[in-house]
Structure 1
Amino acid sequence: MAPGFIHLHVASALSMRYGTTTPQNLVNRAGEYGQSALALTDRDTVAGAVSFIHACASAQISPILGVDIALETPQPYLPTPAHGGKWVKPERPRLTLLAHDKRSWAGLCAIISRAHLDSREDPEINRQELLQLAGEHGLVALLGPRSDIGYNILNRRPDRALDHLRTWQDHGIRTYLEIATHCQSPDADNLSDTFAARMLQWAIVHKVPAVLTNMVRYLEQQDSRIADVLDASRRQLALSAKTNSGPTNQAFLATTAHMSAIAQRIAGMVGDPRDIRRILLSQTVELGLECIIDPTADLGMNQVYVPELAKLLPGESRSADAILQERCEIGFTNYLTDNSVTRTDDQRSSRARLDSELAIIAQMGLAGYVLTVAQVVDMIRQMKVRVAARGSGAGSFINHLLGISGVDPIAHNLLMERFVSTLRPGLPDIDIDVESDRRIEIYQAIFDRFGDKRTTCVSMRETYRVRHAIRDVGAALGMPPSEINTFAKSFPHIRARHIRSALAELPELRRSGIGIRAARGDLDQFLDLVEGLDGLPRHTSLHPCGIVLSDLSLLERTPVQPSAQEFPMSQFDKDDVEHMGLLKLDVLGVRMQSALAYAIKQVHKVQGPNAHGTDHTGFINLETVPRDDAKTFELIQSTKTLGCFQIESPGQRELIGKFAPVSFGDLITDISLFRPGPVKSDMITPFLRARQGWAMTDYIHEDLAEILAETSGVVVFHEQVMRILAVMTDCTLEAADLIRRRMGDYEQLDEIREWFYLALRKKKYELVVIEQVWEVLRAFASFGFCKAHAAAFALPTYQSAWFKAHHPAAFIAGVLTHDPGMYPKRLIADDARSCGVEILGLDVNVSSDTYVVERTVNGGYGIRIPLSEVKGISQQEVSDIISAQPYRSLADFVYRARASRPIIERIVLAGGFDALHGQLVSRRDLLFHVADLSTQFKLKRTVRAKVTAQITLGMEDIEWIPEPTGLPALSLADRVRHEIEVLGLDISAHIMSFYREMLVQLNVVPAGHLLQVRSQSNVLIAGVKVATQTPPIRSGKRVAFVTLEDSTGPVDATFFEEAQDQFAPTLFHSWLLLVSGTVRRTGPRGVSILANGCWELSQVYQHWKFGGVSAVQELIGAAPKVQLDPVAPTQIWEHASGFRSSPYADVRPAGNDIARSMRSAAKLAP
């Protein structure tokens, strides 16, 4: 079979802001055309190589890999007429390089790495470096219309073109001229037929082989408009400013016939069309066939690479297996002693578990991998950093014995097969949680230990979503920046392809001016372009946790480029590095670990070495605190778990209120229950009913009783699914895990179901049992939660709850400093007050750069607000203020602190000088003095600089006493307003206190009193909105969960789609709310509101102020409570398990936007 045409110059969407389609789509189209091979030559990257190879394998197409690279030129950056006169680099000469074996692939990696080294935004490589590397590694060069040769031929300088050609040939580089045309106009454009013919003629004259390409960058001709938008974004020019001539819709992946016609047309302009056409096409195909890549031999895929043992353990002569065996034996002896394992049967089973795991590790050649991870964990501990394993790695007994995981897999019935399996090739995952504020320090230590030739970070690609797409399309179309910004911010964080449906379906958009214009069709072109950008990569950045550790071949197998944090990162993402056989260690910076570490230090600082929970070091050791502490579980059962890891969200607080965990195992179950799988399969309700004794435990079949006993007959864990499959079908646990994974694929469900039914019928199970078990597995198996992962999560969950129960001040100080949760700081501060912890105001003589615990005059504990919370203050200003403490007066502060005048004024308004001068003058008086003092001391510093060092002006030694100005003091409302504007916190009074009279008259129920209200009662609640979530739920509808706080505590309200229709703009864009709804009891300690309406509190206040209660009742009564027939979503994502999700679901942390917007909420106070 003839190979057909072979495209040798093809860009995918991995060419950032240039290509428009995925490698998969390109491969599929080439397959449809009957083309036997295809090249991927993205600009400045091979990031798409792995997915391209997989797509080629599926389509039975041979892969060719290369890169389109820019040459360094002395051209200066030029200003653009758009975007405020930004500077961009003009287009530089480019060429295409092709690899054809292992050596040339290594050269390709080296060239790309070098191009990115000094040119992060515009990668380019020095010509001499490129020539040397390309020659040494045997790369093939395609010099096309945009190369130096092409530009010189275009400018009719054949002598210079010949000089460039000889330079390439002198370095031993196989050089081809690339012939391409994108238009038929006879002008001088370098992509015209005329110029293509000139290039071909020049190649013939100088006996240079030529190949034909279409310089592909999109799939279909109609995609050219998207390419134009990407060009405009990349060049920072509006589309109207584009200077390219001729049609631009020809860079598509063309058929063999189309390329043959182009060859015929160009050949006819040169000479004998048949002969030249035949030679041009045959040279193209021949080169393509020569450059086919073998993924295993050339890229090293399907192999495993870890640091050499000599690097890992210098001077060690034994094998990795022998060293691992020895370390495990030491750990096993300690395990038996520490856990008082004395029964012979227990010792034998533990021994068998260890021997089994060691055998699997040896069989898979993973001893070096495990030792590498263990060494990294040991190194982190030696740095005095909190570290804990997460994920399925907690199921390995070896990981526990080596200290990688703190969870005992035997005690918690975890499975090694979920972590690693001989049936699942490749490296397993071990994720390491560390303190977030020390993550970069740990990265540096890993690089120092293994070297940058064996170490790199993983990259990730940010793709276009609706807001990014709106901004880039708007700029390309020349829209005013303010209009673009308003348009973009009006959308939730959704896919760009959902922009039309969002405008039609979301009530907050449908009734807006944008929605009305869209419905009229005024925005059709704009919306088409936004949708066209959906999912295209737009930026490469450092993955938040992935580090690659390899042997010395690392840089020969992956290009690296600098990240914003200055660490090198592989161009491959987290999935690709695994396919490349590279050890990826996820080092996750977890803020809760930082909060706990900080809290431990605060306890030691304030309470000393004898505080509750301390060990022989004088510090609290959370790894050794009892895991059956009654006070801890009392706190958890109370649902007062704000700030606690994993159990602070509204849904989790509701669940633990019903569940009432009493053991560490219960926490594991709780964390696993609060996942889409159990929610979809409605396992939470029967679990709670059985747990609380309201229903008999149903195991479906007696064979499942032992497996499901710990969860009251309900499937909760992946490991349970694996055990059910193994017990009922007689397959191995390894095979069961593969089956569980496959059940996430719709296309495989029927095949698995047939196998499952056949296996169980052979074992004489009744059909009704088979059907019941299958439905449970189908709904849950692929979408549940790994018990080992839950167990790893349960550890910091318990530790955080223990700390809050025993040391609330230190714990909350840690939470406020490191901000690990979903809620804004003002809610956490309010929670501190409810725990008996005082929030101490800003004080220039006491405040630090973090929240610190202090003893209060009444013998309790308080938390001091830090200087770092002052709006706009720099880290340098914070350091300068702290280093000069204490201050005798405002004058002393102005003179010595070196803070800017706006910062000093904000500190005054936030009460930072109340302790110094609050008894004499008001904040308004001090604000008046700031201006005068700033002027005086500015002049004083100028004079002082001019006099000799022996002359002392002495003004800084004068005792400054502020004089009252006679101005009225700030009202309490003004003080609170300024505190929120400056600090984001209301210190002097709660913001809701100013509405108290109105709220009492309206019979608004305080959050803290809702437990006393009968279920199903209609109520009004009010408060500051502190969190909003629209998570995926099983119905596929968009449901908004809102948390309000009113000084008596938080209350959660649920807005279903019917309630959102009328009130969505207020719900999503206002911060102080009055909400009407029905009380819903969620257990003995839980209560929430099923909302049917909401109003902006300042609007309600104005009605009440001028019209009393009747005016508010009229306002509320005028709005319909629900819209009975909301527009139904037209697009719903459905998982193989049956889980359905709204396209408008938002999985971001609930409080982020609100936390940033709290300062603006102060303006709404009356």
Structure 2
Amino acid sequence: PENRNGEMQEKRLKEIGLDPDDPLLSRTLELAGEIAGFPRHLSQHVGGFILTRERLDETVPIGNAAMEDRTFIEWDKDDIDTLGMLKVDVLALGMLTCIRKSFELIGQWYGLHYTLATVPREDPKVYDMLCRADSVGVFQVESRAQMNMLPRLRPRCFYDLVIEVAIVRPGPIQGDMVHPYLRRRDGREPEDYPAPHPDFGPPDELRQVLGRTKGVPLFQEQAMKLAMVAAEFTPGELNELRKAMATFRRRGTIGRLEQKMVSRMVERGYDADFAARCFNQIKGFGEYGFPESHAASFAHLVYVSSWLKCHCPAVFACALLNSQPMGFYAPAQIVRDAREHGVEVLPVDVSYSQWDSVLEKSGRALRLGLREVDGLREKDVSSLYATQAGAAYFKTLPVAALEKLAAADCFRSLGLDRRQALWEVKAIAKSKPLPLFAYAEEQDQGTEQFVQLPEMPLSEHVVNDYQTLHLSLKAHPMEFLRARCVAERVTDNRTLKNIKDGRFVSVAGVVLVRQRPGSAKGVVFLTLEDEFSVCNVVIWPDVLEAHRATVMGARLMLIRGRVQREKTSGVIHVVANRIEDKTQWLTELTEDGFTMKGALARADEVRKPGPDLHQQSSTRHPRNVQVMPKSRDFH
């Protein structure tokens, strides 16, 4: 294995242009290996609060934070715990903001007033939606792992949501608890509750601990209670076990407790293999699991956000957009999902948009807000949505703000498309932020001759939308690349459901999400989007090693692999065999002679064309640095 790892390291060094035989590089790598695992920097727990009996500044060392009027305690959580001080972690959830804004919109448009406690309970339509894994934007269950679990678990009541929240965690996954629970839930495996010898305890002692989860520990307190009941751990030993669970990877302290628990369970009449399996399940919670109360609190937010998405999709999408950044998905995917649920989404417009997204047409339509325009500051455009009463409201806008609005195609209501609006704004001297419509009069230059610019092609509109808004209501970039995809024998995402399990397939799309969870043993999960739907891709470690640069950096990928269809849930993945970076396709959408019909207008030329124009990589062109917004990556 060491030789193989050395070969892989040498290969990677050569790929990035380094010499593996360089003695300085070898020494650097050696030192890097020695410091691997050391703390990299000091960090602050943004939600950790300490309570002490005496004055805090006389009890613990306090330092000044970088932010004004902020301080921090210079000890870590282990120091605080050793001294017996109370530490409270306060959790901030963006979904609470989203739910509050949703309730406000419902009250404003429908006259109904809800709270977390009054949302209708146990609605079958909500559970039907979740069973379809229709959960984009829903709290906690919008990740690919949770979406894959929903059709397998098929929640039909609130406690099922508690299970759903808790089961897709590193603890249950590492402890090999997920598949046994699902098999037992489906009736494919009997529930098993071994009993101690009659002299040492009642026959149902494990059922009392694990009955609600079908004999499988899914919550942290179940793991602790299992040790207390089956191995008769004392409170002191349980506390020692709790600490060991939290630090066993770092300190290796949990090993000595394993023999104690297994031997005690065997003494009480349990089988040795079962006792060892129980301890391995407990050890899995060292990788992070949920207490039942925590899972129940989160499940309540899962249900409420699901109810909002199910019954008020326009409200929910509006609140989500106004609560960004949060969650797994960017505004482009939130907007797409809203449209798929029948919401009419209206573009950003200087005559109608406010800073936040708002509802229109009796609450059935969603108007995107000015906040979606990249680089625009609220204070620069506050006069727009304060009056919106005609051309006069441009008088206080800086030229830079006008340029951003024009580039984002926000002047349609005034009869100006993107290109014409940019032309008008560019006519203003950048050195003087004078009013748009008074410029000629102030400079006494007369009226400029009207210039009719050629219409911008739709493909270029879409690229500009993504560059300025990170989304487009006009079309999807893959629509213009479909001919290329057909030539490459690429299957569109909507037809994947018709392909049999195990068949070879090629798919292509824009990368939305990259995930590499620590519990997945090096496996990477991708979500690709085309103009029809999304596709889930699984990349095993050996394929990742062969295509690492593409997997981690490409904005558009072509994947060749096999279809994998879950028999019970019907969830479809594509298991990648070969991965190709097709980001260049995106950059060419605005280039002369590809999808463009006719040459670019002179007004759009960034520099004078010459013989070397296309000899340089188009990815270095200022306008093409980021044709598509980055994916949301989770590691």
TM-score (normalised: structure 2):
0.81
Q: Say which of 127, 130, 133 aligns to 1:639.
A: 133
The offset of 1:897, in angstroms, is 3.4
Q: Say which of 355, 379, 384 aligns to 1:849.
A: 355
Residue of structure 1 in register with 2:318 after alignment: 813
The offset of 1:558, in angstroms, is 2.4
What amino acid sits opposite 2:546 in the alignment? Q
Q: Is the 1:508–1:1064 contact (alpha carbons within 8 Å) kept by the matching residues of 2? A: no
Partners of 2:6 and 2:380 lie apart in 1 by 45
Matches within 5 A, 1:906-917: 906-917=404-415
Q: Is the 2:397–2:435 contact (alpha carbons within 8 Å) kept by the matching residues of 1? A: no
Residue of structure 1 in register with 2:452 after alignment: 966
The offset of 1:1026, in angstroms, is 0.8
Partners of 1:750 and 1:543 lie apart in 2 by 29
Residue of structure 1 in register with 2:420 after alignment: 925
Matches within 5 A, 1:259-658: 505=8, 509-514=12-17, 516-518=18-20, 520-521=22-23, 523-524=25-26, 526-527=28-29, 540=42, 542-566=44-68, 567-605=70-108, 607-610=109-112, 619-658=113-152
The offset of 1:1100, in angstroms, is 6.7
Q: Say which of 875, 893, 913 aligns to 2:378.
A: 875
Residue of structure 2 in register with 1:787 after alignment: 292
What amino acid sits opposite 2:576 in the alignment? A
Q: Is the 2:170–2:287 contact (alpha carbons within 8 Å) kept by the matching residues of 1? A: no
The offset of 1:1025, in angstroms, is 0.3
Q: Is the 2:172–2:281 contact (alpha carbons within 8 Å) kept by the matching residues of 1? A: no
The offset of 1:564, in angstroms, is 3.2
Q: Is the 1:636–1:661 contact (alpha carbons within 8 Å) kept by the matching residues of 2? A: yes
Residue of structure 1 in register with 2:633 after alignment: none
Identity %, equivalent residues: 27
What amino acid sits opposite 1:764 in the alignment? G
**In 2 relative to 1, CA 571–978 (structure 1 residues): closer, same or farther, beyond 3 Å?**
same
Partners of 2:93 and 2:461 lie apart in 1 by 36
**In 2 relative to 1, CA 911–1054 (structure 1 residues): closer, same or farther, beyond 3 Å?**
same
Partners of 2:493 and 2:12 lie apart in 1 by 31
> Is 1:897 the counterpart of 2:396 in the alignment?
yes
Partners of 2:244 and 2:67 lie apart in 1 by 38
Residue-pair matches, total: 579
Q: Is the 2:176–2:281 contact (alpha carbons within 8 Å) kept by the matching residues of 1? A: no
**In 2 relative to 1, CA 821–913 (structure 1 residues): closer, same or farther, beyond 3 Å?**
same
**In 2 relative to 1, CA 989–761 (structure 1 residues): closer, same or farther, beyond 3 Å?**
closer
Which segment is superposed worse, 551-560 or 588-597? 551-560
Q: Is the 1:888–1:916 contact (alpha carbons within 8 Å) kept by the matching residues of 2? A: no
**In 2 relative to 1, CA 597–762 (structure 1 residues): closer, same or farther, beyond 3 Å?**
same
Q: Could you say what secondary structure the match of 2:574 adopts?
A: strand
Superposed CA deviations along residues 1020-1061 of structure 1, whole A, max 9, x for unmatched, are 111110111222136x4x221111111322221111122123
Q: Could you say what secondary structure the match of 1:1090 adopts?
A: strand
The offset of 1:593, in angstroms, is 1.3
Residue of structure 1 in register with 2:184 after alignment: 690
Partners of 2:431 and 2:260 lie apart in 1 by 87
The offset of 1:1071, in angstroms, is 0.3
> Is 1:670 the counterpart of 2:176 in the alignment?
no
**In 2 relative to 1, CA 931–747 (structure 1 residues): closer, same or farther, beyond 3 Å?**
closer
Q: Say which of 1093, 1114, 1120 aligns to 2:578.
A: 1093
Q: Could you say what secondary structure the match of 1:631 adopts?
A: helix
Q: Could you say what secondary structure the match of 1:1042 adopts?
A: strand
Superposed CA deviations along residues 1076-1097 of structure 1, whole A, max 9, x for unmatched, are 1111123434211111112223
What amino acid sits opposite 1:1161 in the alignment? V
Residue of structure 1 in register with 2:496 after alignment: 1010
Q: Could you say what secondary structure the match of 1:1054 adopts?
A: strand
Q: Which runs of 5+ in 2 are unaligned?
A: 196-202, 595-622, 631-635
Partners of 1:1017 and 1:1093 lie apart in 2 by 15
Q: Is the 1:982–1:1159 contact (alpha carbons within 8 Å) kept by the matching residues of 2? A: no
Partners of 2:49 and 2:273 lie apart in 1 by 49
Partners of 1:506 and 1:910 lie apart in 2 by 45
The offset of 1:939, in angstroms, is 6.3
What amino acid sits opposite 1:573 in the alignment? D
Matches within 5 A, 1:162-173: none
Residue of structure 2 in register with 1:756 after alignment: 261
Q: Is the 2:262–2:275 contact (alpha carbons within 8 Å) kept by the matching residues of 1? A: yes
The offset of 1:881, in angstroms, is 3.4
Partners of 1:507 and 1:875 lie apart in 2 by 50
The offset of 1:910, in angstroms, is 1.5
Q: Say which of 821, 834, 857 aligns to 2:340.
A: 834
Q: Is the 1:1072–1:1098 contact (alpha carbons within 8 Å) kept by the matching residues of 2? A: yes
Q: Say which of 1067, 1075, 1082 aligns to 2:559.
A: 1075
Q: Is the 2:61–2:73 contact (alpha carbons within 8 Å) kept by the matching residues of 1? A: yes
What amino acid sits opposite 1:878 in the alignment? V
Residue of structure 1 in register with 2:225 after alignment: 723
What amino acid sits opposite 2:60 in the alignment? T
Q: Could you say what secondary structure the match of 1:1028 adopts?
A: strand
Q: Say which of 470, 485, 508 aligns to 1:999.
A: 485
Partners of 1:537 and 1:1084 lie apart in 2 by 42
Partners of 2:525 and 2:21 lie apart in 1 by 29
Residue of structure 2 in register with 1:1114 after alignment: none
What amino acid sits opposite 2:468 in the alignment? V
**In 2 relative to 1, CA 966–1018 (structure 1 residues): closer, same or farther, beyond 3 Å?**
same
Q: Could you say what secondary structure the match of 2:518 adopts?
A: coil
Partners of 2:422 and 2:627 lie apart in 1 by 23
What amino acid sits opposite 1:813 in the alignment? C
Residue of structure 1 in register with 2:207 after alignment: 705
The offset of 1:651, in angstroms, is 1.0
**In 2 relative to 1, CA 591–724 (structure 1 residues): closer, same or farther, beyond 3 Å?**
same
Larger Rg: 1
Partners of 2:534 and 2:187 lie apart in 1 by 30
Superposed CA deviations along residues 940-991 of structure 1, whole A, max 9, x for unmatched, are 79x99xxxxxxxx999xxxxx9986222011111111111111111222111
**In 2 relative to 1, CA 524–916 (structure 1 residues): closer, same or farther, beyond 3 Å?**
same
Q: Which runs of 5+ in 1 are unaligned?
A: 1-500, 611-618, 945-952, 956-960, 1109-1156
Q: Is the 1:1072–1:1161 contact (alpha carbons within 8 Å) kept by the matching residues of 2? A: no
Q: Is the 1:917–1:962 contact (alpha carbons within 8 Å) kept by the matching residues of 2? A: no
Partners of 2:576 and 2:496 lie apart in 1 by 14
Partners of 1:512 and 1:1057 lie apart in 2 by 18
Residue of structure 2 in register with 1:1161 after alignment: 627
Q: Could you say what secondary structure the match of 1:523 adopts?
A: helix
Q: Is the 1:842–1:864 contact (alpha carbons within 8 Å) kept by the matching residues of 2? A: yes
The offset of 1:675, in angstroms, is 1.7
